[in-house]
Amino acid sequence: MADLRQSVVARWLAAGDAGDFEAFDDLLHPGAVIHAPAGLSTSSRDEEKVVWKEALAAMPDLRHEVQEVVADGDVEMARVVVTGTLGRSFGGVEGTGRSFRIDQAVIAHLRDGMVIEAWEIADIAALRDQAGS
């Protein structure tokens, strides 16, 4: 198991939760491709910043709690618990003001110590059920 303090994925998620988008410049390649559910995929670091800004606008209390990270060379895989309150619509899920707790997995390929491509697998059905939309 990888050290969470050194994990690029864990630092990326923590920076996003904190709204520290400048940190993305050290964690994501400029052309990083992020495959995400609910139409939230991005094809650059700048696009990823926009999605995170929209996520925090919809869920100011958004948190990604990394449970564990497994690293093998230039690949990191993280098991994550995502919590928040969906105050307004995001990713096709209606904002109802209800809190949620869902599971997520992130698989990231790294180059030069930064994410070059990642896949986010999240339980969107559980999000819809808990948010009430």
pLDDT in tens, 94-126: 889 999 999 999 999 999 999 999 999 999 999
In a domain, 121, yes or no: yes
**Domain total for the chain?**
1
Q: For 41-63, write each residue's pLDDT tens digit.
A: 999 999 999 999 999 999 999 99
Q: What is the mean pLDDT of the chain?
A: 94
pLDDT attached to residue 5: 75
Residue 1 lies in a domain: no
Is 127 within the bounds of a domain? yes
Strand-pair partners of 26? none
Which residue range is the domain that position 62 belongs to?
Answer: 8-131
Helices (DSSP H) in the chain: which residue ranges?
8-18, 24-27, 45-58, 124-131
| pTM of structure | 0.94
Q: Does residue 3 lie in a domain region?
A: no
CATH number assigned to the domain comprising residue 87: 3.10.450.50
Whether residue 96 lies inside any domain: the answer is yes
Place of tokens 């709690």: 65
Q: Is residue 103 part of a domain?
A: yes
